[in-house]
Structure 1
Amino acid sequence: MSQTVDDLRNEIRLAVGRYERRESTAFTKEALAAICDAVDYEIDTNRLPPKPQMRAGILWKIGVLEEDTPTETESPFRKNELKSIADSLQNE
C-alpha cells in the first residue's frame, strides 16, 4: 500500500523529533526548522526564515534542487518531495 502525503509528513515529523498529527496539515515553521537541522541546512533559529526559504534549503541539501531558491518552493512539499525527504532522513 502506498503512503499518503499525511503518512509521509508524519514519518518526517517523527524522524526529526516532532510529534505526529492526526489532521492533515502542512509543516509549521518549527517543524521545517527541525527538518533543516536534520539535513544540515543552517538557519537563524532566533528568527525563522520564511517557509519557502526553508523548503528550498531542505530540497537543496538533499539534492532535489540545484540551489536554495525560494521562488521554486512557494507551495507546500509535493508527495515526491516528501518521499525524497523521508528517504534522506532514513539514510542518516
Structure 2
Amino acid sequence: MAPTVAEQRNEIRVAVGRYKRKVSSGFTKEALAAICDSLDADVEIDVLPKKGVMRAAIAEEVEGVDGSRDQGSAFRKAELTAITAAVSSD
C-alpha cells in the first residue's frame, strides 16, 4: 500500500534531521529550512524566510515539484514523493 501524505512528510522530516510527528501536519518553517539545507537550495536560512520562498526554492531543486503553482499551498502527494526521493538520496 502506498504511503500516506503524513507518512511521506514524516519520512522527509527524518531524512533531513527533524523529528516525526504523531499527527498529520504540514511542514513548519524549520522543517522547510532543513529540507532546503539538505537540498543545498539557494535560500538564506539564517533568518527564516516565508514558507512560500522556501517552497519555491525546493521546487527549483527537485524535479517533479511544480514551481509554477501557488507556493502558499502545501506540497501535493506526488511532489512529496519526489522530495522524499531527493532528500533520501543525499
- Asked if these proteins are the same fold (TM beyond 0.5), I'd say yes
TM-score (norm 2): 0.89
> What is the aligned partner in structure 1 of residue 44 from structure 2?
44
Structure 1 stretches (4+) deviating beyond 4 angstroms? Answer: none
Structure 1 residues without counterparts, runs of 5 or longer: none
Percent sequence identity over matched residues?
Answer: 46
> What is the aligned partner in structure 2 of residue 85 from structure 1?
83
The alignment of Structure 1 onto Structure 2 pairs a total of residues equal to 90
- 1:56 CA displacement: 1.1
Q: Distance in 2 between matches of 1:73 and 1:91?
A: 24
Q: Distance in 1 between matches of 2:42 and 2:8?
A: 23
Contact 1:41 1:58 in 2 (8 A): yes
Structure 2 residues without counterparts, runs of 5 or longer: none
- 1:63 CA displacement: 2.4
1:19 aligns with 2:16: no
Contact 1:52 1:74 in 2 (8 A): yes
- Which range moves more in the overlay, 55-64 or 5-14? 55-64
